[in-house]
Amino acid sequence: MLNIHAINAFDDNYIWLIEHKNIACVVDPGCASSVLNFLKSNPHITLGAILITHHHADHTGGINELQQAFAEKLQVYGPQNQIAGINHQLTPATELDRAQNLSIAPLGITAKVFATPGHTLDHLCYVIEDKLFCGDTLFSGGCGRLFEGTATQMHHSLSELAKLDDSTKVYCAHEYTLANLAFAKAIEPNNDDLMAYAKQAVTRRDNQLATIPTNIGVEKSINPFLRAHCETIWQHLQQEYSLTVNDPLQAFTSIRKLKDEF
């Protein structure tokens, strides 16, 4: 039985702490002090490992300070890239069904790891039981910006995530939901599921509650970046933006560009 705790960092980052029998790993600790404060308030939990999704500083900035705080004993898993402090470099396939089985030794649990290039070229996603830790690849109502990869790569990466069971909980690294949904509504104004979800998300934020985790089934019904195959969206792109779209990748590429300018 895993317990997942959200640790808030910076303006809108979530550092996810995964706890199994009082041993924990944190995903993307951009900030060490936020993690150390959490552990101080929860002294029964010991940190044993770190999972890194990609090289951006708001995901990796706390690695060294955490290592120092734990006498250099942390197992740090992450992509093969120039990220200081990773002591287990991973180079998994880009297909979910060829994912690497990674034993997270201190916790005695196994993660499925696969590569999801797009936001960055080194991006990894981790699936542990029914939980997906996807960094900046998939957000609720949106997806990561294409800083390094191509639209083709990101479209493929998101298509692999969409193969997970609908009940899979999605633990992304940012609370970007309301801004994403404002854009999603412009792309799909007649999606009733989206309108209902957006209303619920506003209420949660008004009450200082997180909108994360979401799940794959919900995202498939409301997230335009997982819905680029829908011909209703193609028609809307034509009518509203005079964009001619003939296939899902073209639609995805157009939607990503529109979001960058939104």
CB of 119 to Zn ion, least distance (A): 6
Task: Give the sheet arrangement for strand 3-9, strand by strand.
Answer: 3-9, 13-20, 23-27, 46-51, 75-79, 88-90
Dihedral of the alpha carbons of 207, 29, 167, 45, in degrees to the nearest 10: -90
**Is 136 labelled a binding residue?**
yes
**Is 5 labelled a binding residue?**
no
**Is 155 labelled a binding residue?**
no
CB of 48 to Zn ion, least distance (A): 25
**Is 58 labelled a binding residue?**
yes
- Which helix (H) or strand (E) segment is 178 a member of? helix 177-187
What stretches of 10-85 adopt beta strand conformation (E)?
13-20, 23-27, 46-51, 75-79
**Is 54 labelled a binding residue?**
yes
Candidates 13, 28, 56, 96; binder of Zn ion (CB under 5 A) is 56
Segment interacting with Zn ion, rule: CB under 5 A, options 9-17, 21-29, 53-61, 89-97: 53-61
Q: How many residues bind Zn ion (CB under 5 A)?
A: 2
- CA end-to-end span of the chain, whole Å? 41
Residues 197-226 that bind Zn ion (CB under 5 A): none
Contact 12, 174 (CB under 8 A): yes
- Comparison of 45 and 121: residue with beta carbon closer to Zn ion: 121
d(CA 48, CA 76): 9
Write each residue from 110 to 149 as x if it is in contact with Zn ion (CB under 5 A), else as -, in one continuous string.
--------------------------x-------------
Applying CB under 5 A, does 175 fall inside the site for Zn ion? no
CB of 32 to Zn ion, least distance (A): 18
How many CB atoms within 10 Å of residue 106? 17
Question: Does residue 175 come out as left (phi exceeding 0), alpha (psi in the -120 to 50 range) or beta?
Answer: beta
Are β-strands 88-90 and 75-79 bridged in parallel, bridged antiparallel, or unpaired? parallel
CB of 112 to Zn ion, least distance (A): 21
- Comparison of 48 and 79: residue with beta carbon closer to Zn ion: 79
Which residues of the shown chain bind Zn ion in the complex (CB under 5 A)? 56, 136
Please enumerate, by residue number, every residue annotated as part of a binding site for Zn(2+): 54, 56, 58-59, 119, 136, 174
